[in-house]
Structure 1
Amino acid sequence: MPKKWDQSIDIHAPIEVVWGYLDGSLENMQKIMPNVVDNTPVKVTDEGVGSISRQKYREGKRVMEYDVHTLEYMNKVDEKKLTIAFNLGGMFDIQGTYELFKQSEDVTTLRYTGFNEPLKWYIKPFVVLSGEKVVNEFLTRVKRVSENRE
């Protein structure tokens, strides 16, 4: 049974600024996801959907490599959406959706929905016990970075 999240936060920054951290350069991505050490395009499609990037993620001294698949991609003026999925080390299937909604010129709502499904029986208790902390910290980091334009 996967662990699911659905959380939102208002960010006092223009929608394009926030989007630049989610759909931008590795340098921008690392400001909100500091453990991502590499993000190399493997396959790029014109519409975004079907694109694949090879990411490297550092956890302590270990670096894990996995392919991130773009399942949904929408880049409108007032609304943006990015859904990605990847398998982490044969242990988890992870999917995340980032939706941005323009509330005004200087206020954007970021909604994160996602799930983490353990693939090994012995990992399931850890996933069940994992709380909202990681998602809350991520949303707070995106807010801080976007508002301060770090």
Structure 2
Amino acid sequence: MLTWKEKRRIPTNIETVWALFQPDQLHRIMPKVVEHELIEGDESEVGSKYKQSYQEGKRVETYVVETIAHEDEEDYKYLKVTFNIGKAFNIETSYTLITKGNNESLLTYEGVNRGMNWFGKLFIKFAPTRKNDQVVQEFLDRVVEEAKKEQASS
């Protein structure tokens, strides 16, 4: 099992950051996600499902993402999703946003990647954690960069 939990202060208001996690803006913070289409439920409800495709090089992997938690309060936002990739991995990720003043937000990005079969378990056991840490940091950097761009254009 591979886990991560990282926090990042973002010098923009919570609504600006939260907007980046909405389905129509997701490509800005997850550029390798080439498709994200609602297939069941409503966008902001627990149990909603999305067909999502992720491109790594020439390979495209398609899977179903399910929202398992969703909160949208004035000073607190939370989204948790789960998905399986290739019958080998079960991934859960969550994004927590908390207002930290007039124009600052705190983003906590957490996740767990579990092997579902012998291949997935073996892969995770020997996967370099540095690579995962790099992916997490690049994601957080992208969220900060896109939030700053959004605020500057508003």
The verdict on a shared fold, with TM-score over 0.5 as the criterion, is yes
Aligned positions of 1:110-149 closer than 5 A: 110-119=107-116, 120=119, 121-127=121-127, 129-131=128-130, 132-149=133-150
Which residue does the alignment assign to 1:38?
A: 35
CA distance in 1, matches of 2:139, 2:6: 11
CA distance in 2, matches of 1:130, 1:89: 21
Which residue does the alignment assign to 1:21?
A: 20
TM-score normalised according to structure 2 size:
0.89
Given candidates 46, 53, 57, the residue that maps to 2:54 is 57
Going from structure 1 to structure 2, the CA distance change for 1:57 and 1:147 (only over 3 Å counts) comes to same
Alpha-carbon shift at residue 113 of structure 1 (Å): 1.0
Which residue does the alignment assign to 1:74?
A: 71
TM-score normalised according to structure 1 size:
0.91
CA distance in 1, matches of 2:43, 2:136: 30
CA distance in 2, matches of 1:30, 1:70: 17
Alpha-carbon shift at residue 125 of structure 1 (Å): 3.0
CA contact (8 A) 2:2 2:124 kept: no
CA distance in 2, matches of 1:97, 1:23: 14
CA distance in 1, matches of 2:142, 2:43: 30
Letter in 2 for 1:58: Q
Going from structure 1 to structure 2, the CA distance change for 1:45 and 1:137 (only over 3 Å counts) comes to same
Aligned length: 146
Alpha-carbon shift at residue 140 of structure 1 (Å): 1.0
Alpha-carbon shift at residue 105 of structure 1 (Å): 2.2
Going from structure 1 to structure 2, the CA distance change for 1:47 and 1:55 (only over 3 Å counts) comes to closer
CA distance in 1, matches of 2:107, 2:38: 25
1:108 aligns with 2:95: no
Q: Give 3-state SS (helix, strand or coil) of 2:20's partner.
A: helix
CA distance in 1, matches of 2:44, 2:145: 30
- Structure 1 stretch displaced more, 91-100 or 116-125: 116-125
CA distance in 2, matches of 1:46, 1:6: 25
Structure 2 unpaired stretches of 5+ = none
CA distance in 2, matches of 1:118, 1:130: 15
